[in-house]
């Protein structure tokens, strides 16, 4: 059992940030030798730091195995808090940098391509008018992979679409989720397509057209499949499956294919992309765009300002002009 320690008076003497950094490096690399090499110290020096930590806490922090080292339950608990502690320090430095120079800084953003290709662009444009010196580090992520990156603090903010696991409260208890824009799915053709000029189009009229869709596990595909099924129509004539927005745009712009896009893509880029929304009613299913951050994490002022820009853009899009005009 761990010994009782008067941490209020002894924390600074018994545990140093350098020691926690060494522990985090050892666990990340799975080896004391590798950690020593990365940190520029000897393996015995790394071992001594870990031993000192274990002695101070009175519990083993690492299990040594033939495959390397792994954190014990005690080590994992300390690592979880250490990540948060180092992140708060980094956030403090970013706050100071912002106070010293409000025109600079960095924001790390994750979002899927369908958001980056549309909704994100006017946010960036609006934000950069006031904060042109801020670096926006944007990574392509999806709803299945971004949560760990928020939790390990390598992302400040994620713009995501509603769906699993975000609709499972017990899986996202540590995340703050804000709905920004209530997006929807529309059926799209190129302006050269024979149906592009029609004021009324039935879903059955595109049943035999060649389609470019996303994969069968995607929200896009499920909405279209359900719409066809409700009318007793055969499955759409899919000739290509891809998540790439750019590839779908290129294929549809030829005037030979049908596809789907989130409404936000067409609101912002229909004319320049040469696309036309077909007046086909689909099952009413919203597909909200969400802002996701880590709960109880202090956001830097510059991240808060980016979120304000995102809310402003969402409000502007909530009363859109007619599509495909």
Indicate the length of the chain as a whole number: 325
Assigned fold of 102-180+294-317: D-Maltodextrin-Binding Protein; domain 2 (3.40.190)
Give the bridge partners for 140, in sequence order. Answer: 111
- For 134-158, the pLDDT digits (tens) are 999 999 888 777 888 898 888 999 9
For residue 111, the surrounding DSSP H or E stretch is strand 106-111
Does the pTM surpass 0.85? The reply is no
User: By C-alpha distance, which of 212, 209, 208 is closest to 221?
Assistant: 212
Beta carbons within 8 Å of 8's beta carbon, 6+ residues apart: none
Beta strands in 113-209 (DSSP E): 135-140, 157-161, 175-181, 185-190
Q: In tens digits, what is the pLDDT along the chain, a chain of 325 residues?
A: 455 555 555 555 667 888 889 999 999 999 999 999 999 999 999 999 999 888 888 899 999 888 889 999 999 999 988 888 888 888 788 778 777 777 778 899 999 888 998 899 999 999 999 898 899 999 988 877 788 889 888 899 999 988 877 888 888 899 999 999 998 899 999 999 999 989 999 999 998 999 999 888 888 888 899 899 998 998 889 999 998 888 999 999 899 999 999 888 888 878 888 899 999 988 766 789 999 999 988 888 899 999 999 999 999 988 655 554 4
Q: What is the DSSP string of 21-48?
A: HHHHHHHHHT-HHHHHHHHTS-HHHHHH
pLDDT tens per residue across span 20-70: 899 999 999 999 999 999 999 999 999 999 998 888 888 999 998 888 899
List, in order, residues 6 or more apart from 227 with CB less than 8 Å away: 203, 282, 283
CA nearest to 136, candidates 120, 153, 147:
120
Of the candidates 182, 140, 161, 157, the one whose C-alpha atom is nearest the C-alpha of residue 267 is 182
Q: What span, in angstroms and rounded, lies between the C-alpha atoms of 243 and 113?
A: 8
**Residues 274, 266: Cα–Cα separation, whole Å:** 10
Judge if 102-180+294-317 and 185-277 fold alike in CATH terms: yes
Cα–Cα dist 101/95, whole Å = 10
164: helix, strand or coil = coil
* Domain assignments of the chain as residue spans, ordered by start: 7-83, 102-180+294-317, 185-277
Q: For domain 7-83, give the CATH number.
A: 1.10.10.10
Measure the CA–CA gap between 274 and 189, rounded to whole angstroms.
9
According to CATH, the topology of domain 185-277 is D-Maltodextrin-Binding Protein; domain 2 (3.40.190)
Q: Could you tell me the maximum CA-CA distance found in the chain, to the nearest angstrom? A: 78
């Amino acid at each position: 059992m761990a010994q009782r320690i008067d941490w209020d008076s002894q924390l600074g003497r018994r545990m140093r940030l350098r020691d926690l950094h060494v522990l985090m490096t050892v666990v990340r690399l799975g080896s004391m030798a590798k950690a020593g090499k990365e940190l520029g110290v000897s393996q015995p020096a790394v071992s001594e730091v870990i031993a000192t930590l274990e002695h101070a806490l009175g519990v083993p922090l690492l299990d040594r195995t033939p495959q390397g080292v792994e954190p014990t339950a005690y080590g994992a608990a300390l690592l979880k808090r250490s990540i948060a502690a180092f992140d708060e320090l980094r956030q403090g430095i970013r706050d100071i940098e912002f106070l010293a120079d409000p025109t600079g800084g960095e924001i790390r953003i994750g979002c899927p391509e369908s958001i980056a290709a549309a909704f994100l662009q006017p946010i960036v444009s609006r934000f950069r008018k006031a904060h042109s010196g801020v670096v926006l580090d944007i990574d392509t992520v999806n709803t299945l992979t971004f949560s760990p990156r928020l939790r390990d603090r390598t992302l400040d903010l994620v713009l995501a679409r509603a769906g699993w696991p975000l609709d499972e409260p017990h899986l996202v208890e540590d995340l703050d989720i804000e709905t920004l824009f209530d997006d929807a799915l529309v059926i799209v053709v190129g302006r050269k397509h024979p149906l592009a000029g029609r004021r009324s189009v039935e879903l059955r009229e595109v049943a035999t057209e060649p389609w470019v869709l996303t994969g069968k596990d995607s929200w896009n595909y499920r909405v279209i499949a359900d719409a066809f099924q409700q009318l007793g129509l055969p499955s759409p004539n899919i000739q290509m499956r891809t998540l790439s927005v750019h590839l779908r745009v290129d294929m549809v712009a030829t005037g030979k294919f049908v596809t789907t896009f989130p409404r936000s893509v067409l609101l912002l880029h229909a004319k320049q992309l040469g696309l036309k929304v077909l007046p086909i009613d689909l099952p009413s299913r919203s597909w909200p765009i969400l802002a996701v951050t880590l709960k109880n994490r202090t956001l830097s002022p510059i991240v808060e300002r980016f979120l304000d820009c995102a809310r402003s853009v969402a409000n502007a899009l909530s009363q859109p002009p007619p599509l495909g005009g």
